[in-house]
Amino acid sequence: MPADLPKRILIGRALRSDKLGETLLSKRIALPVFASDALSSVAYAPEEILLTLSIAGASAIHFSWQIGVVVAIVMLAVVASYRQNVHAYPSGGGDYEVATVNHGPNSGLVVASALMVDYVLTVAVSTTSGVANVVSAVPALRGHEMLLSVVLVVVLMGMNLRGVRESGSAFAVPTYAFMVGVIGMVGYGVIRHYGFGQDMPAESSAFHLEATPGNDSLAGFAMVFLLLKAFSSGCAALTGVEAISNGVPAFRKPKSKNAATTLLLMATIAVVMFMGIIWLARLTGVQMAEEPAEQLVGAGAGYHQKTALAQISEAVFSNFTPGFYFIAAVTGLILVLAANTAFNGFPVLGSILAQDRYLPRQLHTRGDRLAFSNGIIVLAGVAILFIVAFNADPTRLIQLYIVGVFVSFNMSQSGMIRHWTRHLKTETDPKQRAHMQRSRAINAFGLVMTMAVLIVVLVTKITHAWVAIALMVVLFVMMKAIRRHYDRVSAELVAAEEPDDVVLPTRVHAVVLVSKLHKPALRALAYARLARAHTLEAVTVNVDPADTAALRAEWDERGIEVPLKVLDSPYREITGPVLDYVKNLRRSSPRDVVSVYIPEYVVGHWYEHLLHNQSALRLKGRLLFKPGVMVTSVPWQLESSERRKSQKEWSAPGAVRRGEPRHRPTAGASAAPGTPGADGSNGNDTTAPHA
């Protein structure tokens, strides 16, 4: 059985690098992949408006549709602006690239910090909201929201590790089903209300909504503040609209055109669904309250408040129960799968930042399925931390959510204005100038809209927003520190114009560590002699005098020409004497390099590691930090190791001697990473007194 069989079952077979083009997305698949977040937010954004307005009681609920119209206008303005972005910057850097090019690296890092916080919260909010909707339809699951949310994040991580195209295909059906379900529900509500004159009262319409205690009469400035807060909560519907501009490279050619078309489709569908749900909420008389037991008179102490969308669908489909369960199912699915937008956006952004040396380079590496696997895993892990920290409460998580989104919106729009202004200075073609001026006007209008929303968000939600702002500051400082580290390392490692002593040592002093004369030690001695160092000696540590005497006797009996050096160890410790000896060699000849050869054997089963000491691992770890010291592992594969098994199966008689490896050892490494016993924790190292 192949060693990586479980991995292949989970994520599929590895793809060649030249198959990257096969993972690109058509508009049909790109819409559910990149727009699922923006489309799904219409499931909870209207509810956030109703919850905020409930503070003032029933008198404020009638403002919901006006707030919805303003939110829709802002969404259309932002989408129109991002259509300019995808044409001007099709490389996939999105807001980060726009801000970096037009405002400088620091502004780019501000946007990157905001986007990363946004992506993490997208996963947390989407999964917890999806679970909340499912629990509304299946009350038996109440109390298990956190566990369900964490499991869903892990499942999404696994699906995305299989690759963007496969995850997109899997998510397409639920996303389109959600669109059909919600638009169909709105249409069915229109037919019942206007066609047949039927009433569709929601479950909570029979209750009387009272203002929160202490806020019985909100007027003047307080009422304006409340409406602004409701508007900022409703702007959660805009989350995710930037994902397409960050994912342009994932589209098929023509990339920019397909991305812009997908943006327009997303905006049109999202606005229709958003306004339809708000209209149905007013028509059915849905009452939402942050404190149902106190505000909903007549509900009773044991009343469990369902989500707004669940109440609406239950009312509209009161004469068609399958419709209610269909909406509940597809809403739960789309809210969970909306996290896929972040799973596609975060790894790409992480890869770009890693390429710019602001994040660890591992995030720039593609996995077996040509996805940025490390970024996917990091995103899932941090999102789970948020879910646990906020007890899987979507309402609390949403309050942190909007700040990062609108910070990136503002930086992007102002950057695009600079972009068009810069190009207008050199453009002479009247047609192109007219196009640029129109694009700049669109971005300017988008900036006014997003700036107004950001100010409202900061004013009305500062008690929650400070957490997101603090996270952005931490990420900004961390990325600056990572860049300084990489710059410092690059400057330190740059090759000098003239050869110097650091790169070209005067002599090499080879040291082979042995404990007894078995096959691994003899191979290490032979390999070290082939390297033809200036001096060569074997070193053993005198832990047991009897063993040391036996080694000396066998050494002389075999007539080995390499001198044997015995290091005393009164405290029976191995690593310390070896380090001291190497340090003394370096001190006596600072311009020489000491090459240490460590013979070790590789076992094939995890439990065999428990039966052997780990002196080789400790020695390698300590020696790697010594300047002027090179460490070479010389592995010997035991019969239990997979490598030895494969050699025995494939060795032809007379071609390779039984038990001998096919490849010569490689300096600086033992077995390849990922093979049994090759992770650094090899079996017995021969510097130990006993195997």
* pLDDT, average across residues 356-372: 75
Spatial distance between the Cα atoms of 103 and 97, rounded to a whole number of angstroms: 10
Q: Looking at residues 491-506, what average pLDDT do you find?
A: 60
Q: Which of 9-23, 67-81, 119-133, 279-293 has the highest mean pLDDT?
A: 67-81
Q: 22-92+119-393, what's its fold?
A: Amino acid/polyamine transporter I (1.20.1740)
Q: Determine what percent of the chain is predicted with pLDDT higher than 70.
A: 79
In this prediction, residues 100-116 reach a mean pLDDT of 92
| CA–CA distance, 537 with 78 (Å, rounded to integer) | 72
At 93 the pLDDT is 64
The residue ranges of every structural domain in the chain are 22-92+119-393, 508-650
Rounded Cα gap, residues 269 and 597, in angstroms: 66
CA neighbours within 13 Å on the CB side: how many for 147?
A: 4
pLDDT, mean of residues 108-134: 88
* Residue showing tokens 């030690």: 521
Q: Give the residue-averaged pLDDT of 454-480.
A: 87
Residue 1 predicted with pLDDT over 50: no
Least confident of 227-236, 384-393, 663-672: 663-672
> What three-state secondary structure class fits 424?
helix
Nearest to 215 by CA among 229, 236, 204: 229
Q: Cα 218–222–227 angle (5° rounding)?
A: 95
Region 280-303: mean pLDDT is 74
* C-alpha to C-alpha distance for 274 and 281, rounded to whole angstroms: 11
Predicted confidence (pLDDT) at residue 296 exceeds the cutoff of 90: no
Question: Token pair of 7, please?
Answer: 């991995």
CATH 3.40.50 given to domain 508-650: yes
Rounded-to-integer distance, Cα 292 and Cα 304, Å:
8
Averaged confidence pLDDT in the chain: 79
Residue 212, pLDDT score: 64
The structure's pTM equals 0.68
| Structural tokens at position 615 | 């002196």
pLDDT in tens, 39-67: 888 888 888 888 888 877 667 778 888 99
What's the rounded Cα separation, in Å, for the pair 509 and 32? 62
Structure-model confidence comparison of residues 302 and 24, the more confident one: 24
Q: Which residue would you say has higher pLDDT here, 496 or 151?
A: 151
Determine which of 341-350, 394-403, 528-537, 663-672 has the lowest per-residue pLDDT on average: 663-672
Please give the pLDDT value at position 654. 44
Q: Name the phi and psi angles at 552, rounded to 5.
A: -60, -45
Rounded to whole angstroms, the Cα distance separating 282 from 381 reads 39
Say how many CA atoms lie within 13 Å of 158 toward its Cβ: 12
Give residue 566's pLDDT band: very low, low, confident or very high (50, 70, 90).
very high
Which position has the higher pLDDT, 161 or 594? 594
For the beta carbon of residue 320, count every other beta carbon within 10 angstroms.
11
Q: Quick count: other Cβ atoms within 10 Å of Cβ 677? A: 26
Spatial CA neighbour of 651 closest among 643, 637, 642, 662: 662
CB burial of residue 360 (10 Å; 0-12, 13-18, 19+): middle
- Residue 509 CA to residue 386 CA, distance in Å, equals 54
- At 510-560, the pLDDT tens digits run 999 998 888 889 999 999 999 888 999 999 998 888 889 999 999 999 899
What pLDDT score was predicted for residue 686? Answer: 42
Q: Assess contact for 688 and 578: CB atoms under 8 A.
A: no
The tokens for 242 are 């930037």
If one compares 201 and 240, the residue with the highest pLDDT of the two is 201
First to last CA, the chain: 30
Higher pLDDT: 304 or 95? It is: 95
Q: Answer yes or no: is pLDDT of 244 > 70.
A: yes
The helix (run of H) or strand (run of E) holding residue 409 is helix 394-424
- Residue 312's pLDDT is what? 93
- Give the pLDDT confidence score for residue 300 in this predicted structure: 62
pLDDT at 683: 37
CA distance linking residue 26 with residue 36, whole number of Å? 15
Query: Bigger pLDDT: 577 or 614?
Result: 577
When pLDDT is cut at 50, 70 and 90, the band that residue 668 belongs to is very low
Of 531, 492, 511, 489, nearest to 589 by C-alpha is 511
Going by pLDDT thresholds of 50, 70 and 90, the confidence category of residue 481 is very high
pLDDT greater than 50 at residue 585: yes
Least confident of 22-36, 143-157, 168-182: 22-36
State the pLDDT at residue 82: 87
CB 110 within 8 A of CB 480: no
Instruction: Please tell me the predicted confidence (pLDDT) of residue 169.
Output: 64
Q: Determine the pLDDT at residue 277.
A: 93
Among 628, 605, 602, smallest CA distance to 616 is for: 602
Report how far residue 294's alpha carbon sits from residue 144's, in angstroms, rounded to the nearest whole number. Answer: 25
Q: How far apart are CA 436 and CA 439, in angstroms?
A: 5
pLDDT computed for residue 302 by the predictor: 61
Residue 690's pLDDT is 34
Other Cβ atoms within 10 Å of 147 Cβ, number = 13
For the residues 252-276, what does the mean pLDDT come to? Answer: 90
pLDDT tens-digit series, residues 166-218: 455 666 888 899 999 999 999 999 999 999 899 899 888 877 777 665 554 45
Quote the pLDDT of residue 434. Answer: 93
Query: Are β-strands 296-297 and 208-209 bridged in parallel, bridged antiparallel, or unpaired?
Result: antiparallel
Domains 22-92+119-393 and 508-650 equal at CATH topology level: no
* d(C-alpha 308, C-alpha 38), whole Å: 18
- pLDDT tens digits along 323-334: 999 998 888 888
Which of 338, 248, 403 is closest to 39 using CA atoms? 338
Dist CA 128 CA 124 (whole Å) = 6
Flag whether pLDDT at 564 surpasses 60.
Answer: yes
Of 188, 298, 219, 237, which Cα lies nearest the Cα of 72? Answer: 237
Name residues whose C-beta falls within 8 Å of residue 503's C-beta, 6 or more positions apart in sequence.
495, 496
Q: Render pLDDT for 395-453 as a digit per residue (tens, 0 to 9).
A: 788 777 778 888 888 998 999 999 999 999 988 899 999 999 999 999 999 899 889 88
Q: What is the pLDDT of residue 649?
A: 52
